[in-house]
Structure 1
């Protein structure tokens, strides 16, 4: 899981310095900075030592700083940092999932880099499950695309970049600034795959699919080919796609720990015209996703997309075909469709046990009446999508 890409000393020789993940030689200074970061320490004390943080914040911060330094002692590389995360992932899978299954990875070359592009349901866990599957198979982990809208705090940026995340610009203002930012991003992704031989994970669209409908944004595919367009010589779209070795990935959760919050957002948009995020909502969603009950989880790797593609729309359609085809339907999906009273012929009743029904009904009972249609739609839509019954 080592990050083999080494940056030259001169910033002019490192055109991706402001967006790329941190490298081994930067780890010590970043960890030292984090262990003294008052915002991080305050966040940790509010989570771990709430009473002490309230009555003696200075003492709480001191204890948190010591705990951070102890936790990262002997962490001298990105690999070391990810090994610490691996132990937490193992515990999370053991305590919050009933099963984690991986399919299709064995068909991919272990020595090749791929651009994994997947459906997006959980802010941090979608790529984390991909990483864990690769780690379990003895393969290198991915570099992770993360929107700068999630990086409001410097300590969050540091933690993400230590975990091999690179920054996707979403807050650039003006057409020229956006174009330059996406050109830089496209160049970095292409360099990672073709020069560094280092895999990447990115979502098929901006933001999570809160309504359970997974669709690829063709604009993302267009961005991926921008770097190749800048090369001298003739631009051939299919070749630009093939060199990235783009592999669709489908992740399926039996239960989404953020389903009620997503239902609230969908309700507000439908009834008020907009949804206002609270200041730390994304962080709370990350914590809820990690700690919440997920039931069974399946990750399915698809097949690389070849050079026989002519347009971004064609590529997006092929990603959708593989993502939806590889999506695992669980009893929760069928039970939601049943509760909505829709498409009874699509419900696989033989797959639903008495325990499945009891668990589903218990979760549904905790959802307010006004949110129930939106909560149920999240789980029912994948069944309809897979059957080609959705009007998109």
Structure 2
């Protein structure tokens, strides 16, 4: 057994066997049947599942490598993006060179689509897609683990509670990330903090930056980070398909002190995040910080500065900020009407009002906060104020 077998993605030699296992998995086929034919999946599931398996076998059964599989999946991703967005734009790709491997550290709003959009941009710019960090809390069903590991995902063991076991897990993760970039020449995508920023406040957890160094403590921190080609990525959604669910969770946490996820809630978030309307999406690949940061705390502050300033603010963000009860009086934030054309602003106003009306009144402050927070953070950085 290899050092990283417990967490690594599947390699090319494993693809045919894993595909065969997936296409024989009743749970996987049942999910696809419900997704594709929601009204028929119950009474006719017994008929739909073998038909779906036959079609998938015909389309993907000949795939003999991860790359060939991703090439076929890319067409589905492109169609999903076309249906669920008003377009994807990107900037900063001049900071990326073909043949180099990068450690992409990104803000985190959506479980699946954050790394999917990075893959989309990287793939369409002729670069190799990164390996994707995914928490084991999302891999509760065997077929989900198979699917993600086929698509270059590696496992982050977040469910471990023992201090010694957690330390060993982070040590292994650190070694894998360093090995992937320095030895395999394969890029990595990882979120800047565990879990999505449900309140819109994108911040880098310095513990993640420390983890990158854990397996190479005999080397200076700054040198290890420089060798990893750490690249902060700003992912901006005009609208978050899960914003109502996030507002509800934030409200319940604020009023009761805790929040218990319902069975299948992560699955529902994944499905809504993939198919739900996002408006425009923009990705910005920031420049590498270089070897000038001596510790994780300093580096985290620089990651925040780059990610937050690289975030694209859409009209809805300014509309939300204008009605946010916690708006910062120190900041000179212009009105949306001074920044955007009337047609664009009218469209955004209609959509924003629709979302507000769909949200229970007591939860609306938490919906507003999600969209207003990026404005506050970006303008505080512009003004030279601490976050």
User: Which of the five TM-score ranges fits, normalised by the shorter chain?
Assistant: over 0.9
Q: Distance in 2 between matches of 1:235 and 1:106?
A: 29
Distance in 2, Cα, partners of 1:254 & 1:49: 29
Gaps spanning 5+ residues in structure 2: where? Answer: none
1:364 partnered with 2:356: yes
Q: Is the 8 A contact 2:85 2:279 kept in 1?
A: yes
Question: 1:93, 1:43 → 2: CA distance?
Answer: 21
CA offset at residue 391 of structure 1? 8.4
Provide runs of 4+ in structure 1 moved above 3 Å.
49-53, 341-345, 389-392
TM-score, scaled to structure 1? 0.92
Shift of 1:108: 2.2
Matches within 5 A, 1:184-195: 184-195=172-183
In the other structure, the counterpart of 2:124 is 136
CA contact (8 A) 2:192 2:204 kept: yes
- TM alignment of 1:1-392, pairs within 5 A: 11=1, 14-229=2-217, 234-340=218-324, 342=327, 345-346=332-333, 347-352=335-340, 353-388=345-380
Distance 1:51 1:252 in 2: 34
Deviations 1:22-71 (A, max 9, x none): 11100000000000111111222222334443224432332232233233
In 2: Cα distance, 1:357 partner to 1:281 partner: 30
Distance 1:299 1:51 in 2: 36
Structure 2 contact 319–336 (Cα < 8 Å) conserved:
no
Cα displacement (A) at 1:193? 0.6
Is the Cα–Cα contact under 8 Å of residues 337 and 343 in structure 1 kept in the other structure?
Answer: no
- Stretches of structure 1 lacking an aligned partner (at least 5 in a row): 1-10
TM-score (normalised: structure 2): 0.93
* CA distance in 2 between partners of 1:47 and 1:99 (Å): 24
1:297-339 CA-to-partner distances (Å, cap 9, x unmatched) read 1100011121111111011111101001101110010001123
Q: After the TM superposition, which of the residue ranges 80-89 and 372-381 deviates more from structure 2? A: 80-89
Alpha-carbon distance between aligned partners in 1 of 2:301 and 2:324, rounded to the nearest angstrom: 28
* Aligned mates of 1:335, 1:300 — CA distance in 2: 23
Aligned length: 376
Deviation sequence 1:260-285 (CA, Å, 0-9, x none): 01101101100111111122111211
How much has 1:235 moved relative to structure 2? 3.0
State which drifts further: 339-348 or 242-251.
Answer: 339-348
- RMSD of aligned C-alpha atoms? 1.7
